[in-house]
Structure 1
Amino acid sequence: MSELNWKIGFEIELMAPPGLSRQDLAEAIAQQHDGFVHRIFYPQSEPSHVPGTPLFHNLTLGFEVIDSEGNLIVRCVDDLTLQDDLDKTQKPQPEWYRIVSDDTRLLQLVICQADPKAASGEVLKPIADLFATKVEVGPGGMMRVADHTGNPIAIAALLPGERERPCELITPPIDSNHFQRLELLLNKARSLGFKIPCEGATHFHFDAVNLCSPRVFTNLVNILWTYGEILKKLVGTNPHCRRLGAWDEDLLTLINETGFCEMSWSDVQMGLAKLQLTKYCDFNLKNLIHQIPDKFTFEARIFPSWLHPEPLIESAALMEAILNYAVSAPKISPTVPLVWKLEFVQDFLKILPIAAHFRQVWLSRAASMA
């Protein structure tokens, strides 16, 4: 299979069979590489039904797989959007817990001070010491830390039943041998009986260095605005996938203003930051605007989950070709979003700079769908 040429991080959502967990997959991958597993806190957020608190922020238990030379192979972490495959009537597993707060800064404090290998009854003790208070024991094994005025700092609580089963595989950026490296991970998942979740998705994180130009950024947004819905149908976006959606039209207006393409990239970032874009959309641009260490990426979120590397590589190649088109083309003007028509899809695929093998894969798929 033809190789990819872009540095890409992969996020692949899977589900462990009943009785197994993401820790089991991490340990199996570690054994395959003569490595070891390191338990970590992994940040998550979910909508809240508490008035005045739109989001609850969580630290859930994840597992880093490290090879014998100390290099990260993959992270096996939770994803709170994966819900429908779980039997919530099952009892919580011992010492599978999460830490909850209404302030991400406090959870960053927990990450810096607490030990993810600690038991639920002990994990918040360093935080209580910092605030000169004590850990309060609540119902169901819940552990709570508050300050001297009673304001909550963080709560450690056992996970609901089967919450240990969701497993999002997060690779470090891969710049070569994409197929082989993904197959090593997915083959182990298949052998353990992991499945594709009902809400499963795959996210591609493309290194954003070559996208930091007003012209390229404008081209990319205009391409995806025009062909976004066609692409979602072509790649088979999971209709049960959560946290997708189109950009606000304010983005399209801003990038197509006169003079935008003559701005410096830092000025572009400042202007885009005022739009308060969300990451929970079809194509996440936030990491280009707000540079997070080790995550300066463009994220494509529309792809379904797979247990084999072939469709992963084919889909990454399609997205890579779109990025290359945005980089190489002169300024592309905006048009109204296109609806599905075979000729629209064929014309688009024919102008993309993509290897002949991959182009034929997608032309054949479009024709079969028509």
Structure 2
Amino acid sequence: MAITLDWKTGFEIELMAPAGASRRDLAERVADRVPGTVRRFFHPQSEPSAVEGRPVFENLTPGFQVVDGQGRWIASFVDDLTLQRDLDRERPPLDGWRRIVADDGRLLRLVERHCDPDAVGDVTLEPLAALFGTRIVRHPSGMVRVADDRGRSVAIDAPLPGERERPCEIVTAPMEADHTEGLGRLLADARALGFFVPVEAATHVHFDAGPLCSAPAVAALVALWTRHGTALKRLVGANAQCVRLGDWPGELATLTASEAFPAMEWAAARAGLAGVEGLAKYCDLNLVNLINGRADKHTVEVRVLPGLLDADAIVAAAALFEGLLGWCRDAVRGEAVPLTLVELLIQSPMDEAARSLWLDRIRQENTAIAGAGRPYSRETDQSRNKP
């Protein structure tokens, strides 16, 4: 029986192009199939900085958006700086592949508004220089620098190094139906071009946050993940090589478990959540988009799925979390999280084929544990589900 999703969801699938190919090649293949067109755009990212006083460098790298004949977004194909180990960093940059770096993301917002991502050569930052009343400065290395009228650096445009054209994160438009079919077509295109799952890969699922905009739902979600998160990561096979996973700050559980929090109106609860120090997107479950309430990305993001190149596997994993989020949405204020993962899956509003699949996986895991000399019991399951 095919597994179906009812929740509006978007997917981010981290892949790697084979040597000699790029994410633009996949975008063009998808555009040919749709049919549609490819639009180049600036894709923002951040990376740690070794420069004292500058914790991160903000980047703009080449991204490629596919839209259909009616201008509707199908998917985007972008870089992911965490994908490193499959690349030959000694390879020289390709012509036309460049990145823009600054130490302040606000400066790159100016680049996105005033510069042309389709500009040819090293002239991309000329409009930015004009905003500051200066001219671009070229260096023999191929780097282009913009400074203000006092000589302070604004941004740098440089050749994209070390096969950075190969990483490809497919970012789908939100899907409301036919998730398996839509993902299947995209991934068939990727397989046809030789794309593969890289060492550090993960798959992210963005669920529409609207149904979870209540204090009881968020309290239930935090309690659920606190009790069962470790077991769920093991169950879905979270990639130990993925570098941007992690726990929430302890203050979040303290806040949501308080007697006052579940009784709050959403505006007050959201303000309290926004005040949790250290709560960032790079957690197992990303709540930042739920709290910020951005119209273009109002989601709860599940980040613990491994790299996958199979639509059925991705939808099955998404159905598991759809059911868990549904339990949180429907939880009565103060309702206790079921003690075992089996009980939680039985109680969650989930596609029946998905429920059967994941209950079978749990039984297989428990059988393997028993075979290793640790007999299964309800108490064993409880202890294994604790973080």
TM-score after normalising by structure 1: 0.96
Return the match for 1:308 from 307, 310, 324: 310
Note the C-alpha offset of 1:120.
4.2
Return the match for 1:363 from 338, 342, 359: 359
Amino acid corresponding to residue 112 of structure 1 in structure 2: R
8 Å contact kept, 1:226–1:334:
no
- Determine the structure 2 residue equivalent to 1:228: 229
Note the alpha carbon deviations across 1:92-143, whole angstroms, 9 max, x for none. 1111011000111100000000000013411000000111101011242001
Amino acid corresponding to residue 320 of structure 1 in structure 2: E
Note the C-alpha offset of 1:305.
1.5
Could you say what secondary structure the match of 1:293 adopts? coil
Distance 1:209 1:110 in 2: 32
- Determine the structure 2 residue equivalent to 1:137: 138
Amino acid corresponding to residue 108 of structure 1 in structure 2: R
Amino acid corresponding to residue 168 of structure 1 in structure 2: E
8 Å contact kept, 1:284–1:299:
yes
Please report the RMSD computed on the Cα atoms of aligned residues, expressed in angstroms. Answer: 1.4
Note the alpha carbon deviations across 1:50-76, whole angstroms, 9 max, x for none. 111111100010000011111111000
Could you say what secondary structure the match of 1:107 adopts? helix
Note the C-alpha offset of 1:31.
0.1
Distance 1:45 1:67 in 2: 30
Could you say what secondary structure the match of 2:65 adopts? strand
Q: After superposition, where does 1:191-210 map in structure 2 within 5 Å? A: 191-210=192-211
8 Å contact kept, 2:102–2:154:
yes
- Determine the structure 1 residue equivalent to 2:342: 346
Structure 2 residues not aligned, in runs of 5+: 367-387
Matched, 1:285 2:281: no
Could you say what secondary structure the match of 1:140 adopts? coil
Amino acid corresponding to residue 165 of structure 1 in structure 2: R
8 Å contact kept, 1:135–1:143:
yes
8 Å contact kept, 2:63–2:76:
yes
Note the C-alpha offset of 1:293.
3.1
Distance 1:98 1:159 in 2: 6
Distance 1:330 1:265 in 2: 15
Amino acid corresponding to residue 126 of structure 2 in structure 1: K
Distance 1:189 1:269 in 2: 39
Amino acid corresponding to residue 346 of structure 2 in structure 1: K
Amino acid corresponding to residue 279 of structure 1 in structure 2: K
8 Å contact kept, 2:3–2:316:
no
Could you say what secondary structure the match of 1:89 adopts? coil
Aligned pair count?
Answer: 364
- Determine the structure 2 residue equivalent to 1:88: 89
Matched, 1:68 2:81: no
Distance 2:96 2:322 in 1: 42
Note the C-alpha offset of 1:296.
0.5
Note the C-alpha offset of 1:328.
1.3
Percent of aligned pairs sharing the same letter: 47
Could you say what secondary structure the match of 1:363 adopts? helix
Amino acid corresponding to residue 360 of structure 2 in structure 1: S
Amino acid corresponding to residue 307 of structure 1 in structure 2: L
Distance 2:70 2:229 in 1: 41
Could you say what secondary structure the match of 1:241 adopts? coil
Distance 1:332 1:242 in 2: 34
Matched, 1:51 2:52: yes
Note the C-alpha offset of 1:333.
5.8
Residues 359-368 or 220-229, more deviating = 359-368
Note the C-alpha offset of 1:322.
0.5
Amino acid corresponding to residue 362 of structure 1 in structure 2: W
Distance 1:350 1:293 in 2: 33
Return the match for 2:299 from 297, 300, 320: 297
